[in-house]
Structure 1
Amino acid sequence: MKNESVELKQLALAARRASLRLADADPAMKNRALLEMARLLRDRTGAILAANQSDMERGRAGKLSAALLDRLLLTEDRLATLAKGIEEIAALPDPVGEISPLTKRPNGLLVGRMRIPLGVILMIYEARPGVAADAAALCLKAGNAVILRGGSDAADSNRMFGDVLRSALDETGLPVDAVTVVDRGGHESIAELLRFDEEIDLVIPRGGEGLIRFVAEHSRIPVLKHYKGVCHLFVDRDADPQMAVDLALNGKVQRPGVCNAVETILFHEDCAPELLPLVCRELADHGVRIRGDARTRQLYPPAEAATEADWPAEYLDLIVAVRVVPDLDEAIAHIRKYGSNHTEAIVTEHYESAMKFLRRVGSSTVLINASTRFADGQQLGLGAEIGISTTKLHAYGPMGLEGLTTQKFIVFGDGQVRE
């Protein structure tokens, strides 16, 4: 472990040196590197998919769940989406060096703020190998170096992504150590990286509850959590029936293994007799298991009995918890008690209810009459995301370029001294 610790320290130091060069890099050079990343992802699709197939075979042999296998899977379409997302990042304005409006003080000083990179980001993630491309692209554009520590389930895919991303940096004259893939060791190597608070500026863990807790407990470095997605859909008393069905199906069925999938559906008691059976039947027809409270089981007898453990559960599967609540206030209380500050949606035709839901639900993304699946950086115009922060400090919600920078004060004077 001693030799490995020295190696990891050297990787972190190299990333720190690369971050200093990136902070001064010309925006045009960073954009060329991003476009080269996108090009290489397309050109090396076959090799990436072959590596991913090896990971998938190990995953199936290891009895990974269907949801985790879906997260692990790469396809031509998913790689094309990654490449397109990187091109969109290249087209975005460069945040580094952006200056806020200046304020003139009584003594004549002009005071403002300038956006600067954070430095070195440690990205720790499980299963989803595509995170490597999104994270590297966003960090590069924002002037940060990134250390990528992916899960062992995606080891071959992670290594291939690392080769592609570093090749793009090399071919465009940027330091290759701006992107580093760490694929050795288990939790011991993660714990070691988390000790390097002089070399690494921010840790972003993206994975299951166990990973998040491990990182939070062992890190000397500030942690920005991408916590689990216990996402709710509330069907209000005057909800449009077809909209309720559409949002429930899209939120639960389209990709059940992602963090913005619906895990709990709450029905206002006034609409429940009509809409709850309708929505539950549609979900069941698409293979979804319903776990409901007593009132749900009265209205839809095929539902299984929900227990207390179901309300805070992130299933990441074709399972949904359903509950009938007396009113909007109780729906909000339920979300506050059991939610994870990720994403919540309401189906309503009532303006006052919509605005109350927006104001009082404190999650990082709140939607009115739209699917929870839109809680995604690319869908919200960020180009891509490095994660969805459920930590209110620094950044909250889908994290794009701005979330990977900070601001320093800048002051212009003409010789003023403090009296």
Structure 2
Amino acid sequence: MIYFDINKISDFQVAERFMRYVQIDTESDSHATSFPSTEKQKDLSRLLVSELQQMGLTDAHLDEYGYVYATIPSNTDREVPVICFCSHVDTSPDCSGKDVKPLVHADYQGQDIVLPDDPSVIIKYNEHPDLEHQLGHDIITASGTTLLGADDKAGVAEIMDAARLLMSHPEIKHGEIKLLFTPDEEVGQGVEYVDLKKLGARFGYTIDGEKAGTIEDETFSADGVRVVIQGISVHPGFAKGKMFSALKVAADIIADLPKDKLSPETTAEKEGFIHPTEMKGGVDKAEINFIIRDHNTAKLAEYEDILQRIIEHVVARYPGVSYTFDVKEQYRNMKEVLDQYPEIMEVGLEAIKRVGLAPERRSIRGGTDGSRLSFMGLPCPNVFAGGHAFHGKMEWISKQDMEKAVLTILHIASIWEERSGK
């Protein structure tokens, strides 16, 4: 069979689509008890459903939990495994996602990029090594007062543009393809209520990675630890020898954490950490929340034991003070699942090679929706979306890298069909 040359496609709409999506505020909320954590995430999801239906994806819909499901029908007689492409619509609460003003810096030539709404925010060439590979590209940033939202509206836009191209280029042969857009990934709840039976996919790919050409098959394993300290509260005028402030105990626990190891600021590559993310409370009661991370799942228990020993040592200094220590599993290293299905990565690496990039297999010092999806029964590595400096005002992405991501999605779909004929 003679296959259509996917790399000849030039009618991309991904950058325009992306710049439209980032202007819709979809910031999630880690303190909310609802799902999704913010209703405004559905504003983008509803738009996606409308655009998918206009493309001809008649089953596209938004469910009660804020998930968008859609199907691109097969256009081949071959029996091809059903694959899914997935991205999340929410942006991180670490930096405002309201009133994002995307800007295009055309034909980038290596200069520092000063963002106009706050000239103190400068994307410096010598501090962002990947800018070296962007000469001649069109760089998209925010204006200096918000994040951009490339994590992961770039992935959303790339999947949407790939869907449009698959529907308008029937000469690209592929099996049935499922699309899934999730809320609340940034607050760790992205696939909490996803219906995998309804989705009906065998394998998946999240489009949520960073540098063009990368594909990730390994994440941290992750636990959360909630420590609640019960202090002894006495009127401060009569507190001598009697009061033991829970908040001061919590501060001592933070102060006793390792300074030269086991923290995000002192570790890299495969090294794990114990990281306090929030402390709140008062004299009577205080709470500290920790995240525990390592690529080796067995090490989580080791780190939790270290943390508990530190807490016990501190609490012992304060007679009558007590604490609780609650561990909650968050996600596990998806490599444990993906190694059982090497063909998924083989297709991803081959697709990246076919778009003219040098494939780079990476590990993530973090997690994706794919981490949990893999353990739920949908093996799911993470493909590059092209964004950089996520979660902050210096976030940036290249229009040309987004187009490469669209082509990678098309090649993944095509290669699965091609291999099914062997």
Relative contact order (C-alpha < 8 Å, sep 6+): which is higher?
A: 2
- TM-score tier (shorter): under 0.3
Instruction: Looking at secondary structure, tell me which structure has more helix per residue.
Output: 1
TM score, norm. by length of structure 1: 0.27
